[in-house]
Amino acid sequence: MYGYSQSASNYVFSASTGTFTQVTDASATRLSAVEADGGLSAAQNIGFTFTYEGVNYTQFRMSSNGFISLNPTGTSTLTTNDLSTANASSRPIIAPLWDDLDGRATGGVSRALYEVTGTAPNRVLTVEWRNWEWNYTSSTPVISFQVKLYETTNIIEFHYRSETGSVSSGSATIGIGSATGTAYLNLTSVTTPAVSSTTSTTNINTKPSTG
């Protein structure tokens, strides 16, 4: 969980035992373009005004590589995961599991979805990568994960669910990146969760705990 601040590097991080609640297919929006190797959605409406680093945002784009961009005109899927050097055109970046991923698991079970729940001023946007391959060389589902954006509080949450497959050559980044410059905050380990704003971590290869 990341709490509100004026700079990505100054957000407050906390790890907790949560619950992975799958979005409801019937009411969620499916982004089929993301269910690919190197897929990127068109700009989608957040459903409310979300404030990040003191700036208001109303749209996002979803990448198959495990991040969303709050820049509605960003065009890069960013296979190279490094919050300290990320392409400016795709910033700001919110990355629950940024790596060279793939949304084409065997059996066509991968789904890229988003849903807005609740009522103003307490709505929540949930963006979900379901049954995703980690990394693109996998064929079976390895992990499902979500990013949640909260209206009013502007809290960011990451949630995870382990699937049956094993991680194949994982080298992920988990964290958030600034809209300008190179400010960021990323997880340094999933086994003993801690964050850094000075050391870029690009080699996470262990599934985060389900929750």
What are 158-186's pLDDT values in tens digits?
999 999 999 988 899 999 999 987 899 99
* Residue ranges with strand state E in the chain: 2-3, 12-13, 29-30, 44-52, 55-63, 67-69, 93-98, 111-117, 124-132, 143-150, 156-162, 173-177, 184-189, 194-196
Give the number of domains in the chain: 1
Question: If pLDDT is split at 50, 70 and 90, which confidence band does 139 have?
Answer: confident
Is 159 domain-assigned? yes
Is 161 domain-assigned? yes
Distance CA 62, CA 94 (A): 10
Q: How high does pLDDT run on average in the chain?
A: 93
Is 206 domain-assigned? no
- Check whether 87 has a pLDDT greater than 90: no
Contact status, residue 31 vs residue 171, Cβ threshold 8 Å: no
Question: If pLDDT is split at 50, 70 and 90, which confidence band does 9 have?
Answer: confident
Is 209 domain-assigned? no
At residue 187, the pLDDT reads: 97
Average pLDDT over residues 123-133: 99
Is 26 domain-assigned? yes
Is 201 domain-assigned? no
Residue range(s) defining the domain that contains residue 46: 2-196
At residue 135, the pLDDT reads: 84
Is 202 domain-assigned? no
Is 95 domain-assigned? yes
Least confident range of 3-17, 37-51, 59-73, 131-145: 3-17
